[in-house]
Amino acid sequence: MLSALAILTLIGLTLASPAHAGEIELGPRPAYLVGQMAEGPLKEKLAACIGRPAKRTLFSVSHRGAPLQFPEHTEEGYRAAGLMGAGILECDVTFTRDKELVCRHSQNDLQATTDILATGLAATCKEPFTPAAGDTPATAECRTSDLTLAEFKSLRGKMDAADKTASTLEGYMNATAPWRTELYAGTGTLLSHKESIRLFKDLGVKFTPELKTPVVDMPFDGFTREAYAQKMIDDYKDAGIPPEDVYPQSFDLEDILYWIRNEPEFGRQAVFLDARRGLDPMDPGTFSPSMAELKEMGVNYLAPPLYVLLTLEDGRIVPSAYARAARDAGLDIITWTLERSGPLSSGGGWYYQSVSPAIDGDGRMLEVLDVLARVVGVKGVFSDWPATTSFYASCMGLE
């Protein structure tokens, strides 16, 4: 039988309301990560904070909910992120066939992030499931823009995974990485953008919606890219959300400039997600537009992947030229994504590529986080498990 404490914890995750907005539970992972650190002043500082009450901070930004263990962009994952102290939650925004906005990382990822292939709606998929054969990988592509909002809402979110070597549909769908879990994947409630706004407001957090690049040709049935960008902001205005509580994001600089020109109160906090190809983090000559030019355009927030902000100097993790140039231009920096790489024993993979020789275990994650916060001066860090960033921020007294 479940203990009374376990029952209360489950209620907090599934029935959270404004009354739960101030409650924060970090769980065992921060203590585990501290335990993996090398001995030194940082470990001593963080170890002294284990078990202390944590506070909600804007430094702790939830990336797609809590997808280290919960299906991404689902109500359950968002509630878990709120419980772990994230001060800002993210809804990646795309649209349905009836031009309703929904929370999904990509317009064409339903085959990997939902159960659509196991439902009657599989018939709507742009590409039906085709099993792997020889050297040809398994394929499928299912789009939100081929579903109505009601059809989208009938699906169940699952852990983001697809096995392209699979010869069966079951094998293709059941591909969750071993360092993640299926323990919390039994429900996976999908949300419209408007529903996410109501939920986040109830949880007492701020908002960072990301306008996703459409995979369909625009205009889509008369729906222009500008109308799409405006509709996302209008949802916050209609809900009475103050502009200062919203950090709209996009990888497309034109979206950022649209908000700066047409919705300046929201554009003031628009976040340019910087993943420009050909950009060398150590060569300012490749920064085009330059940091100063971005600032002159009205951009105030810049968000590159975390490896772009870091480099190694005599074996130590230090800020990159990119990080220094952004700071010198007066740009506020946010970065992504912590807790998305699995175990860090072999260099950390893509997110740690600029400092991989120094990454030899999970405890290094908190060292990287410390350099990002104290030396680079980032304002926030996206994490797939917000307890980690909430713990660090609370211990260090960050806002």
Domain membership flag for residue 309 = yes
**Per-residue model confidence as pLDDT tens for the chain (399 residues):** 333 433 334 334 444 444 355 789 999 999 999 999 999 999 999 999 999 999 999 999 999 999 999 999 999 999 999 999 999 999 999 999 999 999 999 999 999 999 999 999 999 999 999 999 999 999 999 999 999 999 999 999 999 999 999 999 999 999 999 999 999 999 999 999 999 999 999 999 999 999 999 999 999 999 999 999 999 999 999 999 999 999 999 999 999 999 999 999 999 999 999 999 899 999 999 999 999 999 999 999 999 999 999 999 999 999 999 999 999 999 999 999 999 999 999 999 999 999 999 999 999 999 999 999 999 999 999 999 999 999 999 999 999
- CA 13/CA 78 separation, integer angstroms: 9
Total number of residues shown for the chain: 399
Domain membership flag for residue 102 = no
- CA 150/CA 99 separation, integer angstroms: 12
Please indicate, yes or no, whether residues 37 and 118 belong to a single structural domain of this protein.
Answer: no
Please indicate, yes or no, whether residues 267 and 375 belong to a single structural domain of this protein.
Answer: yes
Please indicate, yes or no, whether residues 195 and 296 belong to a single structural domain of this protein.
Answer: yes
- CA 226/CA 323 separation, integer angstroms: 31
Q: Give the pLDDT of residue 284.
A: 94
- CA 365/CA 360 separation, integer angstroms: 10
Comparing CA positions, the residue from 173, 66, 157, 129 lying closest to residue 389 is: 66
Q: Give the pLDDT of residue 144.
A: 99
Please indicate, yes or no, whether residues 132 and 258 belong to a single structural domain of this protein.
Answer: no
Domain membership flag for residue 246 = yes
Number of domains in the chain: 2
Range of the domain at 202: 18-97+186-396
- CA 231/CA 216 separation, integer angstroms: 17
**Radius of gyration of the chain from its Cα atoms, rounded to whole angstroms:** 21
Whose tokens are 């190694």? That residue is 312
Q: Are strands 206-207 and 210-211 parallel, antiparallel or unpaired?
A: unpaired
Q: Give the pLDDT of residue 21.
A: 58
Q: Give the pLDDT of residue 289.
A: 97
Q: Give the pLDDT of residue 23.
A: 83
Supply the CATH number for residue 196's domain: 3.20.20.190
In whole angstroms, what separates CA 67 from the centre of its chain?
8
Q: Give the pLDDT of residue 3.
A: 38
Please indicate, yes or no, whether residues 139 and 225 belong to a single structural domain of this protein.
Answer: no
Measured CA distances, 303 to 44, 250, 265 (Å): 30, 10, 19
Domain membership flag for residue 180 = no
**Angle, alpha carbons 230-258-322 (nearest 5°):** 125
